[in-house]
């Protein structure tokens, strides 16, 4: 089961979190990551952030990245959204 953890951070404190799961292994890993991000954003009532080059680079290296205010079209009331792959 593919699992991805989404966390909202503000002032170095975890505000809210959720876990997205996907068991459809007919999808590519990229598709599972994108669906996981959409599910996390839906659960946390956020718009889906834009993948910047730095986000892509961090995610490729660490299976984890942060989306700051620069990644969102709408204004956010937290410091960043962090996503991390827990299980593949």
The whole-number pLDDT of residue 77 equals 94
C-alpha span between 88 and 73 (Å, rounded): 30
pLDDT tens-digit readout, 8-35? 999 999 999 999 999 888 999 999 999 9
32 in the Ramachandran plot: left (φ > 0), alpha (ψ -120 to 50) or beta?
Answer: alpha
> What SS3 state is found at 37?
helix
- The residues, any chain, with a CB within 8 Å of residue 86's CB and separated by 6 or more, are 3, 4, 5, 19
pLDDT tens-digit readout, 40-78? 999 999 999 999 999 999 999 999 999 999 999 999 999
C-alpha span between 88 and 74 (Å, rounded): 31
């Amino acid at each position: 089961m593919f699992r991805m953890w989404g966390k909202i951070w503000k002032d170095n404190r975890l505000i809210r979190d959720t876990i997205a799961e996907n068991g459809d292994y007919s999808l590519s890993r990229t598709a599972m990551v994108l669906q996981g991000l959409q599910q996390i954003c839906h659960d946390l009532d956020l718009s889906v952030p834009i993948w910047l080059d730095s986000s892509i680079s961090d995610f490729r290296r660490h299976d984890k990245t942060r989306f700051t205010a620069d990644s969102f079209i709408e204004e956010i009331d937290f410091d960043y959204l962090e996503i991390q792959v827990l299980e593949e």
